[in-house]
Amino acid sequence: MLVEQTLEKLNEMKLHGMAKAMKQWLEQPKGKDLTPEDVLGLLVDAEQMHRDNRKLQQRLKNAKLRQQACVEDIDYAHTRGLTKAVVMDLASSRWAQRHQNILLTGPTGVGKSCLACALGHKACRDGYSVVYRRASRLFDELAQARADGTYPHVLRRLAKAQVLILDDFGLEPLAATQRKELLEVLDDRYQLGSTIVASQLEPKDWHAIIGDATLADAILDRLVHNAHRLRLSGDSIRKADANLTKARRQVK
């Protein structure tokens, strides 16, 4: 009865990790005697792990990553100019600690979005807050925020994110309002957070997409100079995978 009361009190105090660990420990056969200090240490470790996992799940939920990709699962078999050494260096998340940016460029289908999401996922695991947006969705969100009066709030939320992933940038030329909004977002984040940009276009071609030379210079100034630049190449991985699947079906 005393054990049940203890478990109830632990849950009432929201020490759910400790309560779960205690219940599991009581149900397991005891291979050796543990001192009270040992048992307390195990319960505290379990509670800390439980809270860390909850925080991670919340960060991943808030990030809204387009793909559930992990750096450990990245495929290096496809020839696309991506090396494991580079990815493992970025997987340390030191770039996020130093407020550095990452620019991922290359043709469609080579895995830019997957790599961006994998690095974002690893940043979440390393304790950083992440926000993922496709460029078109970001501008839609900002336009809606202007309309309903929440624009300052949305800007603050974007500025607060330690890592912002801007995917599919440059698919369409920016309107006058959009390029000003992009500059506001990046200016708020400059030297305070990191930004990952995935684009089919090289930064030298962004001036034409942004559409205003002065604003383009200001935007690139806040992105390029402290950025890790990865240029992926090769054929579309999606196309290659589709061809492989088709070939396997023909063999069957």
Q: What are 49-71's pLDDT values in tens digits?
A: 888 889 999 999 999 999 999 99
pLDDT for res 78: 74
Same domain, 45 and 73: no
Q: Supply the pTM of this predicted model.
A: 0.82
How are strands ordered across the β-sheet holding 101-105?
130-134, 163-169, 194-199, 101-105, 227-231
Same domain, 36 and 122: no
Same domain, 234 and 153: yes
Same domain, 71 and 51: no
Question: In the chain, which stretches have pLDDT less than 70?
Answer: 1, 30-32, 79, 237-252
pLDDT for res 230: 95
pLDDT for res 29: 73
CATH code for the domain in which residue 149 is found: 3.40.50.300
Interatomic CA distance for residues 59 and 17, integer angstroms: 19
Residue whose C-alpha is closest to residue 82's, from 57, 103, 111: 111
pLDDT for res 252: 54
Residue 249 covered by a domain:
no
pLDDT for res 144: 97
Residue 57 covered by a domain:
yes
Structural domain harbouring 120: 64-239
Interatomic CA distance for residues 161 and 65, integer angstroms: 14
Q: What are 206-224's pLDDT values in tens digits?
A: 999 999 999 999 999 999 9
Helix (H) or strand (E) holding 15: none
Same domain, 142 and 225: yes
